[in-house]
Amino acid sequence: MAAVEVRNGYKYYGSKSNPKIVLNQLNMNVMRGSIYGLLGASGCGKTTLLSCIVGQRRLNGGEVVVLGAKPGEPGSGVPGSRVGFMPQEIALVEEMTVKETIFYFGRIYGLTDERIREKFKLLKELLQLPPARQMIKQCSGGQQRRLSFACAMIHDPELLILDEPTVGLDPMLREKIWDFLVETTRNSKLAVIITTHYIEEAKQANCIGLMRNGVLLAEDTPTNIMIKFGTQSIEDAFLILSQRQGNEDELAQIMDHNKNQALPAAVLPPEVIDTHEPNMPEKQPIPFEEPLNENRKKIFFTTKGRVKALMTKNFVQLFRQPSGIIFMLLFPIIQLTCFYLAIGKTPTNLEIGVYSGEVENYGECFDENLVTVYKDSDNESCLFNKLSCRYIRVLGDDVATRKYYASEADALNDAKRATTVGYLHFAQNFSDSILSVMEDGIHSSDGAVDHAELSIHIDMTDQQVAYFMQRKLRDKFSTFMRSVVKDCNVSTAIVDLPVQFQEPIFGSTDIEFQQYCAPGVVMTMVFFLATLMTAAVFISERMDGIWDRTLLAGVSATEMLWAHLLTQLIIMALQSFEVIMYIGLVFDTYNNGDTTTLIGLLTLTAFCGMLFGLFISVFCKSHTEANFVATGAFYPMIILCGLLWPLESMPQFLQDLVMVLPFTIPSISARNVIEKGWSITHEKVYNGFLVMAGWTIIFFVLCLIGIRRKA
Ligand SMILES: Nc1ncnc2c1ncn2[C@@H]1O[C@H](COP(=O)(O)OP(=O)(O)OP(=O)(O)O)[C@@H](O)[C@H]1O
């Protein structure tokens, strides 16, 4: 009975209009209880053919039937536990030990731990596997290949497909593997398809298929092939057959001719000898064949066991990589530390020039005997002396270090050379002018008003520093004037602006920029950390072939997705807890609301970021492409979420648009919890959860569609 039948198999890569034909009207039969050696030069299409047999790829034309069913049909067990597949690449998780790898494959195939232990013992001896606790990355290439072979065998499949299993193995071990395969197929219904570059070792196969340029040139027993061609070796027979097939150009012409047809006709040259007599009607539907009893159980093996095995693998993979732990747990700490130390603090080490026309020697400003405000002889009014000295003393060095100048030109020169952030200028008659403005009020002359001013010339190119200086110098001037009028027994109301900011409704008068942008910064940070980590893990898995191998073991795309989601959810919750605790305890930030609500929102944000990473990894082919997408998304999201500049300043259409982005409303919600102490029942808090949940669902659905398509 046939285990595998391929009829008129046709497969191309590329587009329909410009196909690269890899399999061309290929017919193949693999019997149960036999070894089929698939031989051919590199690039002739062997791996493509195998991938169509295991259901990893689909033929563009023709039919393939494996163990009585079409690969991929529900209940066929292909891909799944009826087939064992050893791909050409190693496709094992480097961070796992030998034993963990065997248990991982055993469990996703649905074996009990007891059975896995038994099989492990057997295979360990047979394949001389490395010690159970040895990590894969510490194994030699040959050891990894043997382990990969053991993983394909662990569940006693009905069909075993081995793509170059003996590459890099020593002749003794190669012989041992062949002996094992011969012995097993002789005593069971196991069918084996094996590709190899060592043509002569295929002599031990029951049947050989010689392939060239996507065409099966011959299919027969090794002995028959040698007899037919009168050669002593299969290699010589293959050479003769290849020459007979005609030169490459001829074949290419035929293939070109067939490009424009939906399903090209066979291009087998007339010399091709198919010595095998398949005895098979051309287009008869092939009846569905029930899987063996024990395998049926495995096909319907519960999702729970698989998800558990996948989750264990994910955790091992993450925590055995030092970069994984650093990324997940240390990076948030490093980034938060940078943020809290660098953003929103008071600028220091600034220098400001001071020029006072009424002071000749600045040392006298600090003379303890200097009196700047005193009463006149009849004690009626005040007299002022060198008031600029008083302001200089009030100013101190805490805003900026004062640098004194003998002329305004010198002060200006230094400011222009940017050695100071600007300078203060007091007129020669500053004190007298203030007195006259105070006494004459609205009748003061323009000249007096001008000279009573403190003129500040400042470098506005560094806006934050300039705003800081403006605010501080104004505050200091207000303090200075209040103290002056107080000394004169005049009400301070005359120097206060008739505008007073009362106790704020929410927050405090001295709220810092840091407090304002912290929620947005923390959210974007956890989101993009999760994005990058997930994209990196998934793309590596796919490139290493682990993804495909897991899917071929019968794990569904949904199971893979769930396993990753659950693993990440645990990690994200841990990370969110760590972040909240760290900024609360180390940086002493306050939270007027509920901490659990914040942890919840942050976990949801990280989860959404993870799904975004998954989405990127599903649709990007390489790490580079994924990094471009993640970085490309990072800046627009940060710039548009209102973190750096108020949303209200954007054009209306943009304001409407950014409201649906993942960080805009959620970061406002977080701020509402922290500053206003609102709970999750408040509309302006739960709407942040709704937006984030919405994006989570969108990414989840897109990932599911993408993964299913790829699976
Ligand atoms: N995904 C792909 N897209 C486009 N072309 C591909 C793809 N995969 C394989 N090919 C091409 O198809 C041809 C057959 O490749 P395949 O891997 O099936 O050959 P092979 O016989 O297994 O080679 P080897 O023995 O070196 O592994 C090659 O020319 C290869 O470049």
Confidence of residue 12 (pLDDT cuts 50, 70, 90): very high
Mean of the pLDDT values across residues 215-240?
Answer: 86
For residue 48, the ligand 1 atom closest to its alpha carbon is 18
Task: Give residue 245's identity as a one-letter amino acid code.
Answer: Q
For 406-453, the pLDDT digits (tens) are 999 999 999 999 999 999 999 998 988 888 888 777 777 887 788 888
Distance 42 CA to ligand 1 centre (A): 8
For 46-57, the pLDDT digits (tens) are 989 998 998 888
Distance 13 CA to ligand 1 centre (A): 9
For 285-297, the pLDDT digits (tens) are 434 444 444 444 4
Mean of the pLDDT values across residues 178-204?
Answer: 87
Q: Which of 85-94, 521-530, 558-567, 655-664 has the lowest mean pLDDT?
A: 558-567
Distance 660 CA to ligand 1 centre (A): 44
For 645-667, the pLDDT digits (tens) are 889 999 999 999 999 999 999 99
pLDDT greater than 90 at residue 533: no
- In the three-class reduction of DSSP (H, G, I as helix; E, B as strand; rest coil), residue 53 is classed as helix
pLDDT > 90: what percent of the chain?
35
The residue written with tokens 């010689």 in the block is 210
Q: Which of 77-81, 263-267, 566-570, 608-612 has the lowest mean pLDDT?
A: 263-267
Pocket-testing residue among 13, 162, 215, ligand 1, by greatest number of atoms within 8 A of Cβ: 13
Task: Answer yes or no: are the C-beta atoms of 317 and 93 closer than 8 Å.
Answer: yes
Predicted local confidence at residue 691, as pLDDT: 96
Average pLDDT of the chain is 84
Task: Answer yes or no: are the C-beta atoms of 191 and 68 closer than 8 Å.
Answer: no
Q: What is the ipTM of this complex?
A: 0.96
Instruction: Identify the residue whose C-alpha is closest to ligand 1 atom 10.
Output: 13
∠573-578-584 over CA atoms, to 5°? 125
Instruction: Please report the DSSP string for 443-455 in residue order.
Output: G--HHHHHHTSEE
Predicted local confidence at residue 194, as pLDDT: 93
Instruction: Please report the DSSP string for 325-347 in residue order.
Output: HIIIIIHHHHHHHHHHHHSSPPP
Mean of the pLDDT values across residues 231-249?
Answer: 73
- The runs of H, that is alpha helices, within 128-247 are 141-153, 171-187, 222-229, 234-244
Helix (H) or strand (E) segment spanning residue 31: strand 19-31
Distance 50 CA to ligand 1 centre (A): 11
Distance 196 CA to ligand 1 centre (A): 15
∠515-518-519 over CA atoms, to 5°? 115
pTM of the model: 0.72
For 365-381, the pLDDT digits (tens) are 998 888 888 877 676 77
- Pick from 606, 597, 545: nearest CA to 575: 606
* Token duo for residue 652: 């209306």
- Pick from 5, 119, 96, 103: nearest CA to 52: 5
Predicted local confidence at residue 259, as pLDDT: 39
Predicted local confidence at residue 17, as pLDDT: 84
Pocket-testing residue among 46, 86, 166, 217, ligand 1, by greatest number of atoms within 8 A of Cβ: 46
Distance 47 CA to ligand 1 centre (A): 7
Task: Answer yes or no: are the C-beta atoms of 88 and 164 closer than 8 Å.
Answer: yes
- Pick from 375, 364, 355, 481: nearest CA to 427: 355
Confidence of residue 470 (pLDDT cuts 50, 70, 90): very high
Pocket-testing residue among 18, 44, 198, ligand 1, by greatest number of atoms within 8 A of Cβ: 44
Predicted local confidence at residue 421, as pLDDT: 94
Q: How far apart are CA 268 and CA 270, in angstroms?
A: 6
Q: How far apart are CA 576 and CA 571, in angstroms?
A: 9
Q: How far apart are CA 174 and CA 126, in angstroms?
A: 11
Task: Answer yes or no: are the C-beta atoms of 426 and 356 closer than 8 Å.
Answer: yes
Predicted local confidence at residue 539, as pLDDT: 86
Predicted local confidence at residue 372, as pLDDT: 86
How many residues belong to the chain? Answer: 711
> CB within 8 A of 553, min separation 6: which ones?
79, 80, 81, 105, 108, 109
Predicted local confidence at residue 377, as pLDDT: 67
Confidence of residue 511 (pLDDT cuts 50, 70, 90): low
How many other CB atoms are found less than 10 A from the CB of residue 182? 16
Q: Which of 81-85, 466-470, 551-555, 673-677 has the lowest mean pLDDT?
A: 551-555
Distance 158 CA to ligand 1 centre (A): 26
Predicted local confidence at residue 103, as pLDDT: 94
Predicted local confidence at residue 284, as pLDDT: 41
Distance 45 CA to ligand 1 centre (A): 6
From start to end of 188-275, where are the E strands?
191-195, 207-212, 215-220
Mean of the pLDDT values across residues 60-81?
Answer: 86
Instruction: Identify the residue whose C-alpha is closest to ligand 1 atom 23.
Output: 43
For 131-187, the pLDDT digits (tens) are 999 999 999 888 898 899 999 999 989 999 998 888 777 888 888 888 888 988 988
Predicted local confidence at residue 379, as pLDDT: 66
Backbone phi, psi, residue 439, to 5°: -80, -40
Half-sphere exposure in the Cβ direction for 525 (13 Å, CA): 23
Mean of the pLDDT values across residues 700-706?
Answer: 89
Instruction: Identify the residue whose C-alpha is closest to ligand 1 atom 9.
Output: 48
Q: Which residues are paired to 86 by β-bridges?
A: 162
Confidence of residue 345 (pLDDT cuts 50, 70, 90): confident
Predicted local confidence at residue 263, as pLDDT: 33
For residue 88, the ligand 1 atom closest to its alpha carbon is 27
Confidence of residue 119 (pLDDT cuts 50, 70, 90): very high
